Structure 1
Amino acid sequence: MTEHAQPRVFERRSNLVAGEAQPSQASGLPAYAAIDLGTNNCRLLIARPSGDSFRVVDSFSRIIRLGEGIVSSGRISEAAIERAVGALSVCRDKMDARSAHRRRTIATEACRAADNSDEFLSRIREKTGIELEIIDRETESTLASIGCTPLLDERARGVILFDIGGGSTEVVKLMRPDGEPDAPPVKGPWISLPVGVVTLAEHFGGIDVTRESYAAMVGEVARHLAPFAAAHGDDIDGMHLLGTSGTVTTVAGLHLGLVRYDRRRVDGLWMNNQDITAAVERLMSMTYRQRADNACIGTERADLVLAGCAILDAIRDAFPVSRLRVADRGLREGMLVEMMREDGYIPAA
C-alpha cells in the first residue's frame, strides 16, 4: 500500500438496532455482549432481551485492519495487534459498564490465516482479559444467516445471503421449505470464498482503480464463486439477494445521497439492479481523494470500497436476480440471538 492507504483509526458508534430504544439497566433482564473481530473491523453490540428479539443498549465499531499484510507476511503485524488491543480495551470497558456478563467474542479470517494467531490471542487475553474464539467458516456463515434472516422478504422463496468481509466472503442459500410459504428459511448450501476487500485491494490495488483492474478483481472473485454458482444458481426464481457488509451499506448510503451515514435509512433498504449499477459507476468515476472525502466512505474505506464492489458485482453476475436488500447487521446479531435462545429469552426458530 502507498502512504495514502495507511490505516486511520476510525470509530462508528452506530445507531441502535433491533428496537432502537435504550431500556434501563434496572429492567431486571441481563445484558448480552457480542464482539466480532474481523479482518478489517472490530465491532461490539450489547443488548437486552425484549419480546421475541432484543434492544441494543450500546455499540462500538472501529476499523483496525487486523489482516493488513497477512497475505504477504503470513502474520498479524505488531501495529495491527496494538490497534486490536486498543479497540478491544474499549469493548471491555463498555461490557463492564453495562454489566454484560453473558458474552461471546469471536475472531474470523485474519486469525484463521495468521501463523501467529496463538500469540495474538495470548496478547489480547493478557492486555484486555478478553478470550477470543476463532470460529470456522461454517460457523461464520451460520451466524450471519441467523442475524440477517429477519430481512428476508416474506413473499420470497428464499435469498442468496452474502457477507463481504476483509479476508473472506461468505455466500449462503437460504430457502423456505416447499409448500410452506410462511415457514422460516432453512440454511442450505454455502461457500466461503478466500477473497475479501483487504486481500483483494492489496493484490490488485485499491487507490487508483482502472476499468481493467476492476474487471480483473471481478474475474478473480468469479473464478472462486463459479463452481458454487453452477451447482446452486439454477433455481433462484422468486428469490432476492441479501447483503451484509460495509461495502453494501456504503453503496446504499451513496445511492441515498446521505450527508452522513444513517443506519435507520440503510438497514432493510431495497435496491434494484439499476440502483446498484449507478452507485458503482459513480464510485468508479471518483478519485481516491473524492472517495475519502465522501461522508459514506471516508479515508478508512476509500482504498477498499471498489474491491468490495467487485465482489458484489461478481455475486450479482452469478445470481442474476432483480433485487438486493441491504443489511446493516450480521454476526453480532446472530451471536446475540443464539445466546438469548439458549437462555430461553427468545423462542427457537
Structure 2
Amino acid sequence: MSTRFAAVDCGTNSIRLLVAEAGPDGRLVEVDRRLEMVRLGQGVDATGELHPDALARTFAACEQFAELLDQHGVAPERLRFVATSAARDARNGEQLFAGVRERLGVEAEVVTGSEEALLSYAGAVSGIAAAEEPVLVVDVGGGSTELVLGERGRILAGTSLDIGSVRLRERLLRGDPPSEAEVLATVDHVDAQLDRCGVPLERARTWVGVAGTMTTLSAAYQGLPRYDRERVHGSTVPREELRLLCTSMVQRSVRQLRDIPSMHPMRADVISAGCVIVERIAARVGAPELVVSETDILDGIVLERISQEARR
C-alpha cells in the first residue's frame, strides 16, 4: 500500500478530512473525503470566543475522523490539521487545540490568511483542466474569503478578507429573508473590502470557485435532485446567470432555501451572505464564467506535505 497522507481543514462552518496518496503521475489519488457541518464560528464574531456547543460538535467530528485515519493507516506524523478564520479570531482557541491534540494526536495549526489563500489556490488548480491565464481562485468560507490570482505557476496577487457567510449573516444579514436595507448594507460592506483587496479581479481570464458556497450554487444552478460531487466538480456557471441566481437566493427565506434538494440544511441559513460575496465578485471579475472545483485547501495541504516528504 502506498504511503497515505491526510489533512483536516477546520473552518468557521465546517470541518473536513481528506486522505490521499501520490499517484504514479504525481497527482493526488483520493482515498477518502468527509465533511461535517459543525459551525465552529457560532457567535465568535460577537463574543470573541468559541461556543461550548460548537467545540462539542467539532470534537465529535474529530473522533469520527480519528477512527477513519486509523482504518486508512495514516500515521499522525502524516496528518496536518489546519484551523482557519474562527480559530484565528477566538480568545479561547487553546480549548480547540487541546481537544484536537487529545483526539488526533497532532497540534492544530492556525494558518495565516495569506497561507490559507495560497493553499486554496494550489489545491484548486490541481483539480481542473488547463485554463486560460491568469487564473483567479476564490474560496468563500464561513469567516473569511480568499482571493488569489496566479499565472504560469506563480502568484500575482493574493489576500484573505474578513468577509464570510457566517460572519456576514450574524453581523449584517439578520432578517429571514434579509430586508432590502440589510442587503444594501452588506453589499456596501463587501464592495468596500473588494475595493481595497489589492487583487485585480478584472484581469482574470479563468475564475475558479471552491468550498461550500460555490459548490452549493453550482448544484442549485444545475437543478440536481441531490448533491452530486462528480457533477459539481468542473461544472461551469455563466457569470451573469450566476449573478441572477445569487440575487434570487438572497431574497428567499431559510425555509425556502432548505427546500432546494441539493442544499445542506446547515448551510441554508448562511448561503445568502455567501451569495452577496459571490455576486459582488462576479460584478468585477474578467472571466466570462465560474468554474467550480471540488479540490481545494485540503488538496493543497496534502500536496505540500507529499512534496516535503519527497525532499527529505
TM-score surpassing 0.5? yes
Given the alignment, which residue of 182, 199, 206 partners 2:167? 199
Q: Structure 1 residues 131 and 88 mapped into 2: Cα distance closer, same or farther (>3 Å)?
A: same
Q: Which residue number corresponds to residue 4 of structure 2?
A: 31
Whole-Å separation in 2 of the counterparts to 1:240 and 1:215: 28
Whole-Å separation in 2 of the counterparts to 1:206 and 1:255: 24
> How big is each residue's C-alpha offset from its partner over 1:21-65, in whole Å with a ceiling of 9 and x where there is no partner?
xxxxxxx21111110001111100111221221222222110101
Question: Contact 1:161–1:242 at 8 Å: present in 2 too?
Answer: yes
Structure with the greater alpha carbon radius of gyration = 1
Q: Which residue number corresponds to residue 96 of structure 2?
A: 120
Whole-Å separation in 2 of the counterparts to 1:50 and 1:152: 16
Runs of 4+ that moved beyond 4 A: none
Note if 1:173 corresponds to 2:149: yes
Note if 1:132 corresponds to 2:108: yes
Q: Structure 1 residues 71 and 242 mapped into 2: Cα distance closer, same or farther (>3 Å)?
A: same
Question: Contact 1:92–1:130 at 8 Å: present in 2 too?
Answer: no
Matches within 5 A, 1:12-161: 28-51=1-24, 52-101=26-75, 102-151=78-127, 154-161=130-137
Whole-Å separation in 1 of the counterparts to 2:297 and 2:250: 29
Identity percentage over the alignment?
28
Note if 1:226 corresponds to 2:195: yes
Whole-Å separation in 2 of the counterparts to 1:121 and 1:155: 39
TM-score normalised by structure 1 residue count: 0.83
In the alignment, structure 1 segments of 5+ residues that lack a partner are 1-27, 177-184
Question: Contact 1:217–1:310 at 8 Å: present in 2 too?
Answer: yes
In the alignment, structure 2 segments of 5+ residues that lack a partner are none
Question: Contact 2:97–2:107 at 8 Å: present in 1 too?
Answer: yes
Whole-Å separation in 1 of the counterparts to 2:3 and 2:308: 13
Q: Which residue number corresponds to residue 17 of structure 1?
A: none
Given the alignment, which residue of 207, 227, 231 partners 1:261? 227
The Cα shift of 1:137 comes to 1.1
The SS at the match of 1:299 is: coil
Question: Contact 1:218–1:313 at 8 Å: present in 2 too?
Answer: no
Q: Structure 1 residues 211 and 322 mapped into 2: Cα distance closer, same or farther (>3 Å)?
A: farther
Question: Contact 1:206–1:304 at 8 Å: present in 2 too?
Answer: no
Q: Which residue number corresponds to residue 21 of structure 1?
A: none
The Cα shift of 1:319 comes to 2.2
The SS at the match of 1:318 is: coil
The Cα shift of 1:221 comes to 1.1
The Cα shift of 1:193 comes to 0.5
Question: Contact 1:152–1:158 at 8 Å: present in 2 too?
Answer: no
Given the alignment, which residue of 310, 313, 320 partners 2:279? 313
Whole-Å separation in 1 of the counterparts to 2:111 and 2:243: 34
Whole-Å separation in 2 of the counterparts to 1:110 and 1:206: 23
The Cα shift of 1:245 comes to 1.9
Question: Contact 1:206–1:307 at 8 Å: present in 2 too?
Answer: no
Whole-Å separation in 2 of the counterparts to 1:206 and 1:338: 42
> How big is each residue's C-alpha offset from its partner over 1:53-101, in whole Å with a ceiling of 9 and x where there is no partner?
1222222110101011011111001111111110111111110111111
Q: Structure 1 residues 188 and 48 mapped into 2: Cα distance closer, same or farther (>3 Å)?
A: same
The SS at the match of 2:35 is: strand
Q: Which amino acid aligns with 1:199?
A: R
Q: Which moved more, 1:220-229 or 1:275-284?
A: 275-284
C-alpha RMSD of the superposition: 1.9
TM-score normalised by structure 2 residue count: 0.92
The Cα shift of 1:115 comes to 0.5
Whole-Å separation in 2 of the counterparts to 1:161 and 1:257: 24
Q: Which moved more, 1:191-200 or 1:118-127?
A: 118-127
Given the alignment, which residue of 179, 185, 189 partners 1:210? 179
Whole-Å separation in 1 of the counterparts to 2:225 and 2:162: 34
